[in-house]
């Protein structure tokens, strides 16, 4: 999965361009650049890749979510529905704006359950944020119907699913706003970075200004620019953008390798009757960055996970007790362990976490193993890995 596995001459060339002209900031210093605008070039590549009108680079995937929500006017006291199985950044980005993350159950797609989403809608709900976890997607048709029915923003956190598609559309381009992460362990990486994509010109303009202290980016004199509204600093640097520019050009190469390695592992595991695989909605194509499968019980899954680790099968995650990705271990959220006072609206809005039953999510996450697909494996390594995984699972069943 991580693009850093295959760093090469293209990445070196793009970074060298930046170092030779000496301008590491994405804005200003026009005369020194010698025509190099890596962030602008990467934004154009993202527009083409994801078939959208606008792309705004930011400093991280977390920043992308906050910027996207802010660009759509979501803030204090607003409720944003998101899944119990995600990364902590999802609720952090919502809370950064004073909004309330409303966690709901997942289904066998390992993403938002549409029925759970429908039940969670209240007069305070302003957005549905679907997190396209582990390289695949939710039932996007069902979520679009719900969002239109209740006039809600549909935002895609596609940070882990770059390159996946649903009915021919790239993930991230289906909702009104899409968010990506280009951190060090993503399929394409900038080291640190993220992006907001949209077809809505006003959302793009808002994101462009908000992510750079409210600068309107009018004219060629940065010091003379106006500030139509308050903003913050979520800028990406030219160095980070340069790495991403090389990597986005290699995305088809990465996806092809991932699919090959994924398919070999899945074919081997499919021979075990007790192994089932996550549901990919009809019309969906994963990016093949993770192979997700279910075992019959929590006990069996725990034992398999332990044996994988002990016998050198790295990168296979049992998220049930993971404190980064699943609601069960988010004590810091449930107990609101904050360095600064949390707004009362958020305190009140999160009380549901003390009593909500997420047994449907437990049913899926407790039995799931999510195995990272590496780009650097040789075919022989994948075959050996597949044989070992099958051997371990059969020995425990």
Backbone angles phi, psi at 229, to 5 degrees: -160, 170
Count the helix, strand and coil residues of the chain and give each as a percent rounded to the nearest 5: 45, 15, 40
Minimal CA–CA distance to 109: which of 130, 88, 93? 130
Beta-carbon contacts of residue 90 (< 8 Å; ≥ 6 apart): 65, 82, 83, 101, 129, 131, 157
Q: How many CB atoms are located within 10 Å of the residue 289 CB?
A: 28
- The sign of the CA dihedral 200, 203, 209, 211 is negative
Active site residue 148: no
Instruction: Give the Cα separation of 392 and 378 in Å (integer).
Output: 21
Which residues of the chain form beta strands (DSSP E)? 54-58, 79-83, 100-104, 125-131, 153-157, 165-166, 169-170, 177-181, 194-198, 276-277, 284-285, 290-294, 316-317, 368-372
85 neighbors 134 (Cβ within 8 angstroms): no
- Determine whether 81 is exposed, middle or buried from the number of CB atoms within 10 Å of its CB (0-12, 13-18, 19+): buried
47 neighbors 198 (Cβ within 8 angstroms): no
69 neighbors 310 (Cβ within 8 angstroms): no
26 neighbors 39 (Cβ within 8 angstroms): yes
Q: Is 237 helix (H, G, I), strand (E, B) or coil?
A: strand
Q: How would you classify the pairing of strands 316-317 and 125-131?
A: unpaired
Minimal CA–CA distance to 143: which of 107, 179, 168, 98? 107
Which of 186, 259, 303, 394 is the catalytic position?
186
Residues noted as catalytic = 186
């Amino acid at each position: 999965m991580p693009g850093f596995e295959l760093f090469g001459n293209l990445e070196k060339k793009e970074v060298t361009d930046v170092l030779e002209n000496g301008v590491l900031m994405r804005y200003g210093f026009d005369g020194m650049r010698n025509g190099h605008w890596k962030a602008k070039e990467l934004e154009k590549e993202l527009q083409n890749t994801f078939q959208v009108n606008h792309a705004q680079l930011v400093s991280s995937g977390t920043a992308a979510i906050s910027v996207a929500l802010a660009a759509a006017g979501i803030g204090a006291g607003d409720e944003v529905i998101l899944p119990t199985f995600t990364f902590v950044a999802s609720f952090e980005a919502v809370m950064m704006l004073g909004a309330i993350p409303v966690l709901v159950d997942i289904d066998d797609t390992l993403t938002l359950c549409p029925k759970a989403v429908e039940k969670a809608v209240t007069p305070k709900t302003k957005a549905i944020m679907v997190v396209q976890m582990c390289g695949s997607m939710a039932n996007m048709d069902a979520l679009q119907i719900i969002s239109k029915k209740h006039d809600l923003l549909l935002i895609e956190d596609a940070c882990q699913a770059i390159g996946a598609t649903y009915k021919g559309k790239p993930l991230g381009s289906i909702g009104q706003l899409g968010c990506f992460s280009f951190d060090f362990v993503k399929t394409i990486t900038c080291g640190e970075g993220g992006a907001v994509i949209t077809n809505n010109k006003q959302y793009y303009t808002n994101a462009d200004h908000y992510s750079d202290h409210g600068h309107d980016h009018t004219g060629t004199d940065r010091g003379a620019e106006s500030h139509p509204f308050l903003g913050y600093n979520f800028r990406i640097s030219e160095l980070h953008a340069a790495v991403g520019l090389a990597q986005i050009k290699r995305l088809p190469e990465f996806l092809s390798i991932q699919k090959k390695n994924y398919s070999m592992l899945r074919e081997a595991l499919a021979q075990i009757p007790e192994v089932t695989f996550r549901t990919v909605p009809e019309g969906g194509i994963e990016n093949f960055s993770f192979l997700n499968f279910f075992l019959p019980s929590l006990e069996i899954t725990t034992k398999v996970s332990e044996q994988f680790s002990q016998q050198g099968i790295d990168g296979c995650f049992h998220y049930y007790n993971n404190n980064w990705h699943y609601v069960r271990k988010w004590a810091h959220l449930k107990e609101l362990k904050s360095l600064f006072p949390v707004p009362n609206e958020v305190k009140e809005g999160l009380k549901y976490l003390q009593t909500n039953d997420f047994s449907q999510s437990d049913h899926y996450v407790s039995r799931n193993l999510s195995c990272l697909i590496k780009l650097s494996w040789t075919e022989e390594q994948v075959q050996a890995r597949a044989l070992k995984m099958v051997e371990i699972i059969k020995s425990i069943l």
